[in-house]
């Protein structure tokens, strides 16, 4: 059964590596739902967090194929139950005078911060798990979402275990 899965990847930080990794998904006809790349805290390496929709077998096949890329040091699934994941969203909502209090009530339960107030709109910043942000978007859609941008997932394993250690 297909479901969203998060892959953590450690790769050398130089030109062309991201293209080789994303090309693997393109060749297999898979869409990347979320992609975040940043320095890994290890000199010369980047950390990639990729979320795709696929079966366990498909994701295992992707990981095996990614490990064949010379610049990839480590790739593995980050299960929700043993990982922490977060992303950021900026969301601009249609907010006439009558709706502002209702919108503020919704956003306060997600600890969203107002970052801009327009004449007929409110812009918020919120962070949380992907499912929390999906629910926030769903609740705000009744007011009319004008624009939104999401950063993509950043995820790490719980506890003392590190991707680079294995």
Average pLDDT, integer, range 24-45: 89
CB 49 within 8 A of CB 35: yes
Confidence band of 94 (pLDDT split at 50, 70, 90):
very high
The pTM (predicted TM-score) of the whole model is 0.83
- pLDDT, residue 81, reads 82
Mean pLDDT across 64-76: 93
More confident residue, 124 or 32: 124
Q: Where, residue-wise, is CATH 3.30.70.260 in the chain?
A: 3-77
Q: How far is CA 107 from the centre of its chain?
A: 20
- pLDDT-derived band at 166, boundaries 50, 70, 90: low
Q: Which residue has the higher pLDDT, 26 or 144?
A: 144
Please list the residue range(s) of the chain that carry CATH number 3.30.70.1150.
84-154
CA distance between the termini of the chain: 28
Please list, in sequence order, all residues whose beta carbon lies within 8 angstroms of the beta carbon of residue 88, skipping any fewer than 6 positions away.
Answer: 125, 126, 127, 150, 151
CATH class of segment(s) 3-77: alpha beta
Give the count of beta carbons closer than 10 Å to the beta carbon of residue 134.
13
The predicted structure's pLDDT at residue 86: 93
Confidence of residue 89 (pLDDT cuts 50, 70, 90): very high
Identify the DSSP state of 163.
G
What integer best gives the mean pLDDT of the chain? 91
Q: How many whole angstroms separate alpha carbon 61 and alpha carbon 24?
A: 11
Minimum mean pLDDT range among 29-33, 57-61, 69-73, 160-164: 160-164
Domain 84-154 homologous superfamily, CATH: ACT-like. Chain A, domain 2 (3.30.70.1150)
d(CA 15, CA 18): 8
Helix (H) or strand (E) run with residue 7 in it: strand 3-12
């Amino acid at each position: 059964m297909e479901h969203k899965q998060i892959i953590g990847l450690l790769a050398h930080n130089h030109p062309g590596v991201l293209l080789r990794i994303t090309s693997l998904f393109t060749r297999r006809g898979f869409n990347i739902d979320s992609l975040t790349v940043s320095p890994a805290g290890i000199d010369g390496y980047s950390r990639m967090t990729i979320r795709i929709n696929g079966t366990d077998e498909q994701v295992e096949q992707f990981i095996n194929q990614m490990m064949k890329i010379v610049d990839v040091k480590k790739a593995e699934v980050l299960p929700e139950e043993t990982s922490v994941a977060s992303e950021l969203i900026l969301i601009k909502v249609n907010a006439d005078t009558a709706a502002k209090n209702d919108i503020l009530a919704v956003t306060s339960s997600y600890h969203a911060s107002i970052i801009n107030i327009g004449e007929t709109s409110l812009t918020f910043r919120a962070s949380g798990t992907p499912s929390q942000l999906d629910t926030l978007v769903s609740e705000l859609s009744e007011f009319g979402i004008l624009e939104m941008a999401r950063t993509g997932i950043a995820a790490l394993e719980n506890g003392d275990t590190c991707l680079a250690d294995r």
